[in-house]
């Protein structure tokens, strides 16, 4: 019989999932990591003094193994790779409304923009950054998880922090501004006025699309307000008869899920700054959308 109480694992289960999801960008991998953590937790025969730190170490190591495996697979990935979307709407047992501060924190922790940005880091930089900057573990704890010295971890965090800051194009806006801007984007898109649509887009807006080689999609980023406006206008005309989309909360922000005439899903996610859309993520890979549809 295990010396470890299930209640201690349950207390930290959400943390373990978020660590794994931030490292892998995969909901299915994160779920596998949590399950492996539980099996290892139950196998420990002596009491654990600090369950949070101990379980985080297991989750980090298992997530890094999954990440390295995924990275090898991504070398042959067709086109742009985007993370699996994570539904983040409040559950029935949770408060229906979040404070603006907690909503911003949630969006920053699991935002698609952050997950995409983390792809520029190597596995150890990514783990050190996530554990320190997102979950506030101290350097000795991270060192034990990575099998490195605290000083080496400080260097990893410093390099990762520098790269992430240089890659940040904007700061997050509150939920109301984000939702109003996205709704304005769709109204302008369906209205068919290219200039009105461009007014909702940041001058350096970027569209990234992921079909995973299973469905057609733009293989390269689309950059700039005019090309993006014309691209969105073309999509609207092509799928005019497909019906209205469904609003979802994905990765802490409003997203839109559409189905085409063949019943294939497409998820649109957005980043917003200064009441303009700065980034659009279009996910069509059916394997990454299965848990939503």
pLDDT, one tens digit for every residue, the chain (293 residues): 556 678 889 999 999 999 999 999 999 999 999 999 999 999 998 889 899 999 999 999 999 999 988 877 777 788 889 999 999 875 433 444 444 444 444 556 678 888 988 888 999 999 999 999 889 999 999 999 999 999 999 999 999 999 888 766 656 688 899 999 999 998 899 888 888 899 999 999 999 999 988 888 888 999 999 999 999 998 888 776 666 788 999 998 899 999 887 888 999 999 999 899 999 999 999 999 998 87
Q: For residue 93, what pLDDT is reported?
A: 38
Q: Report the top-level CATH class of 175-288.
A: alpha beta
Residue with tokens 């783990």: 127
Q: For residue 184, what pLDDT is reported?
A: 93
- Nearest CA among 41, 64, 63, 36 for reference residue 52: 41
CA 31 to chain centre: 15
Q: For residue 2, what pLDDT is reported?
A: 59
Q: How far apart are CA 80 and CA 83, in angstroms?
A: 10
The CATH 3.10.450.50 portion of the chain extends over 175-288
Q: For residue 109, what pLDDT is reported?
A: 64
Q: For residue 167, what pLDDT is reported?
A: 67
Largest CA distance in the chain: 68
Q: How far apart are CA 37 and CA 271, in angstroms?
A: 33
SS3 category, 191: helix
Structure tokens at 31: 């779920």
Q: For residue 102, what pLDDT is reported?
A: 43
The second-level CATH assignment, the architecture, of 5-77+110-163 is Up-down Bundle (1.20)
Q: How far apart are CA 27 and CA 62, in angstroms?
A: 14
Q: How far apart are CA 116 and CA 206, in angstroms?
A: 13
- Nearest CA among 92, 85, 114 for reference residue 172: 114
> Are 37 and 58 a contacting pair, CB within 8 Å?
yes
| Residue 268 vs residues 124, 160, 198: alpha-carbon distances, Å | 30, 28, 18
Cα angle at 214 between 208 and 218, to 5 degrees?
30
Residue with tokens 């290892």: 40
Residues 6+ apart with CB under 8 A from 4: 41, 42, 44, 47, 48, 51
Residue 276 gets which letter from DSSP?
E
Q: Strands of 276-283's sheet, edge to edge?
A: 222-223, 201-210, 276-283, 265-273, 253-259, 246-250
Q: How far apart are CA 280 and CA 266, in angstroms?
A: 12
Residue with tokens 């101290």: 138
């Amino acid at each position: 019989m295990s010396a470890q109480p299930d209640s201690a694992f349950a207390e930290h289960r959400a943390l373990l999932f978020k660590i794994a999801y931030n490292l892998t960008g995969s909901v299915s991998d994160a779920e596998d990591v949590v399950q492996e953590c539980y099996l290892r937790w139950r196998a420990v025969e002596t009491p654990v003094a600090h369950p949070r730190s101990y379980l985080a170490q297991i989750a980090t190591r298992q997530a890094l193994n999954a990440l390295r495996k995924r990275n090898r697979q991504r070398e042959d990935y067709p086109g742009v790779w985007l993370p699996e979307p994570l539904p983040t709407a409040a559950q029935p047992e949770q408060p229906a409304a979040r404070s603006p501060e907690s909503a911003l924190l949630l969006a920053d922790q699991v935002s698609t923009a952050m997950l995409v940005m983390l792809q520029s880091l190597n596995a150890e930089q990514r783990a050190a950054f996530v554990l320190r900057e997102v979950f506030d573990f101290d350097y000795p704890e991270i060192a034990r998880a990575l099998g490195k010295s605290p000083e080496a971890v400080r260097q990893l965090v410093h390099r990762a922090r520098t790269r992430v800051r240089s890659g940040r194009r904007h700061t997050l806006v509150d939920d109301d501004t984000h939702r109003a801007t996205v709704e304005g984007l769709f109204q302008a898109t369906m209205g068919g006025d290219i200039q009105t649509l461009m007014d909702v887009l940041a001058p350096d807006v970027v569209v990234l699309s992921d079909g995973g080689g299973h469905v057609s999609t733009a293989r390269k980023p689309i950059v700039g307000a005019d090309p993006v406006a014309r691209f969105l206008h073309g999509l609207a005309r092509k799928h005019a008869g497909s019906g209205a989309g469904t609003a979802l909360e994905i990765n802490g922000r409003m997203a839109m899920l559409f189905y085409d005439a063949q019943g294939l899903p497409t998820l649109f996610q957005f980043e917003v700054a200064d009441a303009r859309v700065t980034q659009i993520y279009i996910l069509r890979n059916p394997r990454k959308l299965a848990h939503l549809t």
